[in-house]
Chains A and B, each alone.
Chain A
Amino acid sequence: MMKIITFCISLFLLTLTSLAQEDKKVIEGGEVDKSTMDSLGLTDPVVQRKYNEGVKMLTSKNYQQAVNAFTEVISRDNTYTNAYYNRGKAHRGLGNTDEAVADFEKTVAMNPTNHEASYLKGQTLMEAGRYDEAAIAFKQAATTNTSKETYAYYQGVAEFQAGNYEAAVKAFDEAIRRKADYAYAYNDRGSAKMQMEDYDGAIRDYQNAIKYDNYLAFAYNNLGSAYKAKEDWANAEKYYTEALKRDPKYYVAYNNRGSAKYAQGKYQEALSDYSKALEINPKYALAYNNKASVYIQTKNYEEAVKNCDKAIEINPEFMEAFVNRGIAKEMLKDLDGACADWQDAFILGSENAENYVNGPACSNDN
């Protein structure tokens, strides 16, 4: 009898080891080798089998089955921290934010040094758009582990997403303190400063981002936008162009460079940049809207209407495109059409459109 049990355990352990090696590559904290089991005093073979089944399911993204397996583990042995941790991951995979968060929290409660659980809780909350809570989770991870720069960085990202730009700057400060050449953190701190309209501060940060990683097309683009915000069109154009050298398919930068040219009255050049953006991404509603703006400025109202039509077809809630189409239609003497577009723009939040709707163009039956 004893022999049989020993055999079974040996066989099981053999399987487990190979599984664990595979898991290790994929899932952090997922490994279960003999020493771990021993240290946790795991002796129930059913628990062991279920646990490993859960890990296998998690690896193969069969999240529901993983959740079932880990739940069974927990029902038999609720002291097993990794089961909560892994079930948290499986719940995250299923989009069960509350369940995932509860499991990560349980993990931390059982093992306060587990910073990874706090970090994953932060990511889970971010994915659900619960940025304020995410920021707190990342902060907890960053406090538990005082050297990992990514925890401080993601705290900054969450604060940024929550609109807490000052707190974001502080978190990115910490990330940069932990890693002096952290290009992403410089870029994102610059972005937080942009939101606070500290354009000079933003420019310094974006320049550092580029210094530490000269291939970051988006950091060049953002630098251009910081200059655009300062109405320094020459520098804006220059850095958008640098962004495009690093990523020739970067339609966002084409669209932005077009707007820098537009602001200088270089409408034909602007038009060609907007068109390039559309060549790369034919569904880029913003560039259609901007083309329409050029056509309004150059009094080609029919073309303006056509481009707004496309922008609105792609994004039926595109406020600017409704405002612009209204302007173009007014100039084409289609007052009914213009006023209907402004009415839509007003509902989508444009204050100017509200004024147009209440203005003399829309208050007469001429």
Chain B
Amino acid sequence: MKKISLVIILALVAGLSFGQDVPFDKKLFKDQKDEFKDALKHYENGDDYRHGFPPDYMKAVAEYQQAYKFNPKSADLNYAIGICYFNFDKYQMKKYFEAAYKLKPTVAPDILYYIAISYHIEGEWQKAIDHYNKFASSVNNNPDMQPLKTDAFKKIQECKNGMELEKNPARVWIDNVGGKVNSKYPDYAPVISADEAVMVFTARRPDAEDMAPDGRGYFEDLYITTKENGEWTKAKNMGKPLNVEGQHDATIGISPDGHQLFVYNDKKGNGDIYISSDEEGSWSKPEQLGKNINTDYHEPDASLSFDGKRLYFTSNKPGGYGQHDIYYADWDEDKERWGEAINIGDVLNTPYEERSVFIHPDGETMYFASTGHNTMGGYDLFYSKLVDGKWQKPVNLGPPLNTPDNDVQLVVAGNGRYGYMSSYREGGFGEKDIYLITFLGPEKLPMLSNEDNLIASIAKPVKEKIKEPELVSEGSNMAILTGIIRDDKTKEPLKAQVVLVDNEKNEVIAEFQSDANTGKYLVSLPGGSNYGIAVKKDGYLFHSENFQIPEASGFKQYKKDVDLKKVEVGQSIVLRNVFFDYAKYSLRDASINELERLIKLLNDNPTMRIEISGHTDTRGSDHDNQVLSQNRAKSVVDYLIAHGIDKSRLEYAGYGEKQPLIPDSEINKMNSKTEKEDAHQQNRRTEFKILSM
């Protein structure tokens, strides 16, 4: 009798600490045969979905929940539900794993691992670490569990990273971009042009697609929205040929000017990168990027440099540092294809995953997602800066942008202030939505104001000297030049060529096209160069602009509409990229590119006669200005003659300060020094005019 009591007491104690596992055993449910049968059927259906190929965890959970209603005390069922949630909604799983463990600590050898993850994704770092440790010691001699044990040790480090990163949260705002873009279906993977005028993203909506067999909703399609008056317009399905019915069509990247779109295609079964362009006015059929980029392995991400000359992408092909790595390839002008892929190196790549690479149009900032480095769990977003040709140690973007769960695919606008990414957050329109990330930059410190009665005999206090808080420059170091190219007379938009030249190096950096429908163009100008910009179109005079973008100037956006003039007698243009030494008339080397263009124009029009004229600003003596402008015009003419243009076709004149583009009366009204200096700069110029043809 005593023995029995002891057993009962022991059982009760055990019951108190572990609960009592109630397996789906018909012997235990003799009184509820029918209900039991029904619940068991649901349980088995759930198992079928969970173990199917591919598994369908959402449907599995729906079935399991029916069985759970009947018997919530089965350790195995709780565990099974936990595993399903782990695969599609991690925030729901903790309750089930903890119950399973309480009911039967031996329910599965990895149960403690999953409980640890449940804490981990909630940011309960210490509890997660404790459970990972407990798990590791519980599976000491279990050979099947060794990979998970290794992973648990990695995750312990991730929790420690999380504790560190939480001390300095990122200064960001995360705002839903709104119902014109987002829907109740999954909307994700946004890509944007550098000026945020165009956004393309992937969505799984029913408007043009059927349900996909992966159990995650409708087939993926590409959607597009544009920004008008600061607001996103209603997103539109991009249609054919980008979207193919019954096929996943997903965004990867877009060129900074928004005219080249990279899409993901799984036709071959291994995932490749395709490209489409809208240069002819509508999106072209996506084409393979070629063998140097796409391999038999998985290539899921791509991002194009500001000049379109380098493609960054990811691949899990062998020979890297493990799993997906970041690679790049340069455009081979002669062979008209992408060159050999080069691994970007182990400063960025780790033995873990590196994905969703995005190269910023400033040419010196890369964003990517990684499960390595100091991630706080799953994929975290990182950035790295290119300094003296070397990528620096990646920096974790920190919470709240990064969470213990997967955070992938961030794209950042040219200004560096705004970024876009997708996530599944409370208060959204349903499922994944696209969010606007505002990077607030370094904290702006408020200014105090104090005063003292410094002079004993004067009652009025004296204000303390103002010391402004030290500033760290914000945003990217680059400029974006946008505008519309039109015909000077008809104002019809023109599809023209925009040539970007590094004046100091005398190199063409890149060539862009303006939009065939709207005439809109966009050029990204990373800091640190003197840029010449020439807008060209057959039958029109070229137009030139000059931009000096300092190394660390922060972000600037310029709007410059260009009206191209037809090649006709009487037309004149300003040669913005002809430079002289200060107060002298010797041509600087940086002028060569512009002069070459002029020579080409004269060669293309062999009977054209032109006048070159020099103009100064209104400062300095009239006489000196007159002489200087005349000498400068002559220098240009001399150069043209030396390069084979017949003397009889050229005239020159110096107008000194007599024909300013912006008169002094207007300059005097300007507020800032910079504005005034700009105006004087506009007035100092070399022009040419067609005299006859």
Residue in B449, B450, B469, B555 whose CB lies within 8 Å of A360: B555
| Distance, CA A146 to CA B30, complexed state (A) | 121
Return the chain A residue nearest B671 by Cβ.
A347
Assembly CA distance A296 to B453 (angstroms): 28
Q: In which size bucket is the chain A interface? A: 35 or more
The answer to the question of A203 belonging to the interface, with a C-beta cut-off of 8 Å to chain B, is no
Q: How far is the CB of A96 from chain B (nearest CB, A)?
A: 22
A177 to chain B, nearest CB (A): 18
Best-buried of A153, A221, A320, A360 by chain B (most CB within 10 Å): A360
Tell me if A's interface is mostly helix, strand, loop or mixed.
helix
B439-465 interface with A by 8 A CB criterion = 440-441, 444, 446-458, 461-462, 464-465
Given A330-B444, A360-B417, A352-B468 contact (CB < 8 Å): yes
Q: In the assembly, what is the distance between CA of A347 and CA of B671, in Å?
A: 9
Could you tell me which residues of chain A, from 317 to 362, have a CB within 8 Å of some CB in chain B? 318-321, 323-324, 327, 330, 333, 347, 350-352, 355-356, 358-361
Say which residue of B446, B448, B455, B464 sits within 8 Å of A188 (CB atoms). Answer: B455
Contact with A along B382-415 (1 / 0, CB 8 A): 0000000000000000000000000000000101
Contact present for B452 and A218 (CB under 8 Å) = yes
Residues of B in contact with A, size category: 35 or more
Q: Are A290 and B230 in contact (CB under 8 A)?
A: no
Q: How far is the CB of A334 from chain B (nearest CB, A)?
A: 13
Instruction: Please tell me if the beta carbons of B444 and A157 are within 8 angstroms of each other in the complex.
Output: no
Identify which of residues 204-238 in chain A touch chain B, using a CB-to-CB cut-off of 8 Å: 209, 216, 218-219, 221-222, 225
Query: Per-residue CB proximity of A246-261 to B under 8 Å, as 1/0?
Result: 0000001001100100
Hey, which chain B residues are within 8 Å of A161, CB to CB? 455
Select which of A218, A290, A355, A356 is within 8 A of B453 by beta carbon. Answer: A218
A241 interfacial by beta-carbon distance below 8 Å: no
Residues of A within 8 A of B424 (CB): none
* Contact status of A184 and B230, CB under 8 A, knowing A225-B464, A286-B451, A324-B446: no
Asked if A364 and B418 sit within 8 Å, CB to CB, the answer is yes
Given A252-B453, A363-B556, the answer on whether A356 and B444 have CB atoms closer than 8 Å is: yes
Does A187 lie within 8 Å of B446, measured CB to CB? no
- Smallest CB separation, A265 vs chain B (Å): 13
Please, which residue of chain A has its CB at the minimum distance from the CB of B474?
A359
Does B557 lie at the interface of the complex (its beta carbon under 8 Å from any beta carbon of A)?
A: yes
Query: Is the CB–CB distance between B458 and A157 below 8 Å?
Result: yes
Q: Which residues of B contact A360 (CB under 8 A)?
A: 415-417, 441, 474-476, 554-555
- Alpha-carbon distance between A285 and B474 when the two chains are bound, in angstroms: 30
- Docked pose: A333 CA to B172 CA in angstroms: 12
Choose one: A153, A255, A366; the contact of B418 (CB below 8 Å). A366
**A365 within 8 Å of B by Cβ?**
yes
* CB-based contact B448/A289 at 8 Å: yes
In chain B, what residue has the closest Cβ to A294? B446
Distance between B103 CB and nearest chain A CB, rounded to angstroms = 45
Determine if A194 is an interface residue (Cβ-Cβ < 8 Å): yes
Q: Is A293 an interface residue (CB 8 A)?
A: yes
Is A262 on the interface with B (CB-CB < 8 A)? yes
Assess the B447–A324 pair: CB atoms within 8 A: yes
For residue A79, CB closer than 8 A to chain B, the reply is no
Q: Does A55 contact B (CB under 8 A)?
A: no
Q: How far is the CB of B136 from chain A (nearest CB, A)?
A: 41
Indicate if A199 sits at the interface (CB-CB under 8 A).
no
Which residues of chain A come closer than 8 Å to B475, judged between CB atoms?
Answer: 359-360
Q: Is A17 close to B, CB under 8 A?
A: no
Contacts of A364 in B (CB 8 A): 196, 413, 415, 417-418, 557
Give the CA-CA distance A323 to B82 in the complex, in Å. 53
Min CB–CB distance A351 → chain B (angstroms):
6
Q: Are B457 and A184 in contact (CB under 8 A)?
A: yes
Contact A320 B555 (CB under 8 A): no
- Which of chain B's residues has its CB closest to A342's CB? B444
Query: When chains A and B are docked, how far (Å) is the Cα of A222 from the Cα of B438?
Result: 44
Cβ 8 A contact of B446, one of A292, A318, A333? A292
Q: Are A255 and B450 in contact (CB under 8 A)?
A: yes
* Interface membership of chain B positions 651-689, coded 1 if the CB is closer than 8 angstroms to chain A and 0 otherwise: 000000000000000000001000000000000000000
**B454 and A222 contacting across the interface, CB-CB below 8 Å:** yes
**In the bound complex, how far is the Cα of B286 from the Cα of A175, in angstroms?**
89
Contact B230 A365 (CB under 8 A): yes
Q: Is A191 an interface residue (CB 8 A)?
A: yes
* Set B466, B469, B555: member contacting A359, Cβ < 8 A: B555
Question: Which chain A residues numbered 160 to 177 have a C-beta less than 8 Å away from chain B?
Answer: 160-161
Kindly list chain A residues whose C-beta atoms are within 8 Å of the C-beta of B557.
Answer: 363-364
Contacts of B440 in A (CB 8 A): 330
A83 within 8 A of B: no
CB neighbours of A355 from chain B (8 A): 471, 473-474, 554
Known: A252-B452, A355-B554. 14 other contacts (CB 8 A): A160-B454, A191-B454, A218-B453, A256-B452, A320-B449, A351-B468, A352-B468, A358-B554, A359-B554, A360-B476, A363-B555, A364-B415, A366-B230, A366-B417
5 A-B pairs with CB atoms under 8 Å apart are A219-B456, A221-B452, A252-B451, A324-B447, A330-B444
Q: Which 6 pairs across A and B sit closest by C-beta, in order of nearness?
A: A360-B475, A360-B417, A191-B454, A218-B453, A184-B456, A293-B446
